[in-house]
Chain A
Amino acid sequence: MRMIVIALCVAVLTSASVEGHHSFSAEFDGSQIQTIKGTVKEFEWMNPHAYIILEVTDASGRTASWGVQTRNLSILKRQGWSQKTLQPGDIVTIELYHHRDPGKNVGFARYIQKADGTKYDVIPGGRGGIVAPNP
């Protein structure tokens, strides 16, 4: 019983910072495309969407954590992804749609490029080429 109570407390605490389940247009701004470059901290290979947590350093040397949403696993698998596609420490460039709140470091990925040049689409047919990351 004690373990159940502890587990419930942990569940409540860990879910407190998770936002709601929304539609794309309710959450992201399809006109705000941004490119970020950073170091992968976590790659969560799970349905309904795989997530990338990365640390991004800006021109002034300040670092910030970003959360980037991708797609579900069957779609990513057909796009060439696997659970080994990203590892902690990987340097990645990600083009994304930014969250509607400009103050949030949250985006929905369009495509991703690893340091070795390998590109992975997130949106099928969404290729547009990686551009230089924002300063």
Chain B
Amino acid sequence: MQRRFVSIAGAALLIAATALAHIAAGQTPQGRGRGAASPPPAAASGPIPRTADGKPDMNGIFSASETRGGRQAISFQPWAKEKHDRFVARRLADNPTARCLSPGLINLTTVSFFPIQFVQTPGQMVILYEWDHFFRVIPTDGRKQTDDPDPLQSLGHSVGRWDGDTLVVDVVGFSDYTWIDNNAGVHSDALHVVERFTMIDRDTIEYRALLEDPKAWTKPWNVTATLKRRPPTDALMEYNCAENNKPDDFPPDDQLVR
């Protein structure tokens, strides 16, 4: 029996597949592609739960609703545009997730099919990502953002603070290999992200991230998504991208655009 199987990293596959399916049907993905408006407000499901210190209680498992949320087109600097175009010309074969590398902060948070779990304490917010076991520990104890984000990390260095019912997270110190989206959204190590997690009812967190990268982009832009609480029976599961892959499942470095 001839077996010619291919493997692929999770996000690239579904996003590309669903996008292409909608494009084939003459639609933008979910009717809200790049440059589109923010998602419509979700129906109220109950009051915002509160922790003992009066903050919104975000503990629980959430996932982005089926859409990818609103995005604005990336305006690249010339070198980044050239790199982006090379990746696109290679049909996105260089997507880091196709080698089981980090999907990056935005993909991990706005992906619809790998849930995330908020674990909230008075001094910190922990976010657990099902996609390849990534996690973030976000202090909310009043400390300032570091001025020496060393080492650079694929998810950067996060510091949070509460602004009413919104958790505001400042993130710097990103390594530069991840893609902001699955369409060759290249960036540099100057990427700076300000995330706003706003709880609007018991089951809904509106996510908005302001992204700026003066090295790679000509102007800041926003990503938005609606995070909905998963059913109480749901639980995070394992997703090991590299599990059962063989060494030669990955393209050699000399076949990748770096």
List residues of chain A with CB under 8 Å of any chain B CB: 11, 15, 17-28, 30-31, 33, 41, 46-49, 51, 53, 65, 67, 69, 71-75, 77-78, 97, 99, 104-106, 108, 110, 123-126, 128
A-B contact count (CB 8 A): 166
Question: With A48-B242, A73-B237, A125-B66 in contact, do A24 and B16 touch (Cβ < 8 Å)?
Answer: yes
Q: What's the interface size class on B, roughly?
A: 35 or more
- Given A21, A71, A106, which contacts B14 in the complex, CB threshold below 8 Å? A71
**Judging by beta carbons under 8 Å apart, are A21 and B8 in contact?**
yes
| A21, chain B: closest CB distance, angstroms | 4
21 sample A-B contacts, Cβ–Cβ < 8 Å, listed by A number: A11-B246, A18-B249, A20-B250, A20-B251, A22-B8, A30-B16, A31-B20, A47-B238, A48-B7, A48-B9, A48-B100, A67-B5, A69-B6, A74-B237, A74-B238, A75-B114, A77-B237, A106-B4, A123-B18, A124-B113, A126-B21
For residue B1, CB closer than 8 A to chain A, the reply is: yes
Interface string of B1-43 (1 = CB under 8 A from A): 1111111111011101111110110000000000000000000
**Judging by beta carbons under 8 Å apart, are B16 and A25 in contact?**
yes
Give the complex CA separation of A98 and B21 in angstroms.
13
- Given B1, B3, B10, B130, which contacts A71 in the complex, CB threshold below 8 Å? B10
For residue B80, CB closer than 8 A to chain A, the reply is: no
For residue B244, CB closer than 8 A to chain A, the reply is: yes
List residues of chain B with CB under 8 Å of any chain A CB: 1-10, 12-14, 16-21, 23-24, 66, 90-95, 97-100, 112-114, 130, 234, 237-246, 248-251
Most buried by A among B5, B94, B99: B5
> What are the nearest 6 A-B pairs in CB distance?
A30-B20, A26-B93, A74-B237, A21-B249, A24-B16, A24-B13
Chain B contacts of A78 at CB under 8 A? Answer: 113, 234
**Judging by beta carbons under 8 Å apart, are B245 and A21 in contact?**
yes
Give the complex CA separation of A126 and B243 in angstroms.
26
Smallest CB gap from A101: residue in B: B4
Question: With A48-B243, A67-B5 in contact, do A30 and B98 touch (Cβ < 8 Å)?
Answer: no
- Given A15, A17, A108, which contacts B4 in the complex, CB threshold below 8 Å? A17
**Judging by beta carbons under 8 Å apart, are A49 and B7 in contact?**
yes
Give the complex CA separation of A73 and B239 in angstroms.
8
